[in-house]
């Protein structure tokens, strides 16, 4: 029940972040809902496709779609107020990242994937929706630009893999690994840490 509640919290956070990005890009209400749905559900759909789960879980259970669509509509209607809750949205987004990355890794391991593949699938579960959102909005995906986002998800996925290899209780491993992801994400936001970026080549005068 706790993981389910956290998963829906993550869905709401991802849908809200996607909808806010769509509002800033001046999309209409349909576009806002589509981008919100894509941001929230994209990672899980990619995960299920990679694992051969057809149709994807989020398309078989209507509450996933309903919660994300309602969230996007609320953001469209009250986006000035939602934008003021930036810190709360970022915290919820961190929780969603942790839950999706670790739950995705656990699902992949239970489906028989190797540890290496399971970690990559888990990371993709966490970051896939945001990457698709940025592509829809014609932007370079945020995870490829600066923020320590994908590495936090991958760290949580590796923790799940290690716990699985040591035969530790699955629930405790998934929850603990999600906490690690959230802690890394919150710490990097608080300290304004970013991944290194290559310096542009110096222009030489002829």
Q: What is the pLDDT of residues 87-108, one digit of tens each?
A: 888 888 888 899 899 989 999 9
In a domain, 2, yes or no: yes
Q: Is the dihedral of CA 124, 125, 126, 127 positive or negative?
A: positive
Residue 18's CB: how many other CB atoms inside 10 A? 32
In a domain, 108, yes or no: yes
Cα–Cα distance measured from residue 161 to residue 59, given in angstroms and rounded to the nearest whole number = 27
Percentage of the chain modeled with pLDDT above 70: 96
Judge whether residue 121 has pLDDT over 70.
yes
In a domain, 150, yes or no: yes
* Cβ-proximal residues to 205 (8 Å cutoff; 6+ apart), any chain: none
Domain that holds residue 112: 1-191
* Total tally of structural domains belonging to the chain: 1
């Amino acid at each position: 029940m706790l993981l389910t509640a956290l998963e829906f919290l993550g869905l709401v956070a991802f849908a809200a972040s996607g909808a806010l990005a769509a509002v800033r890009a001046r999309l209409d209400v349909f576009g806002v809902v589509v981008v919100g749905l894509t941001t929230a559900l994209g990672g899980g759909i990619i995960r299920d496709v990679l694992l051969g789960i057809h149709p994807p879980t989020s398309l078989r259970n209507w509450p996933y779609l309903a919660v994300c669509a309602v969230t996007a509509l609320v953001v469209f209607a009250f986006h000035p107020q939602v934008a003021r809750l930036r810190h709360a949205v970022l915290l919820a987004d961190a929780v969603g990242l942790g839950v999706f990355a670790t739950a995705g890794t656990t699902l992949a391991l239970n489906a028989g994937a190797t540890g290496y593949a399971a970690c990559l699938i888990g990371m993709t579960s966490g970051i896939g929706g945001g990457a698709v959102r940025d592509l829809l909005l014609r932007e370079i995906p945020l995870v490829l630009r600066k923020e320590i986002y994908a590495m936090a998800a991958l760290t949580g996925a590796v923790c799940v893999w290690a716990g699985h290899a040591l035969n530790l209780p699955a629930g405790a491993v998934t929850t603990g690994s999600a906490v690690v992801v959230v802690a890394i994400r919150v710490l990097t936001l608080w300290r304004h840490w970013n991944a290194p970026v290559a310096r542009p080549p110096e222009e030489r005068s002829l």
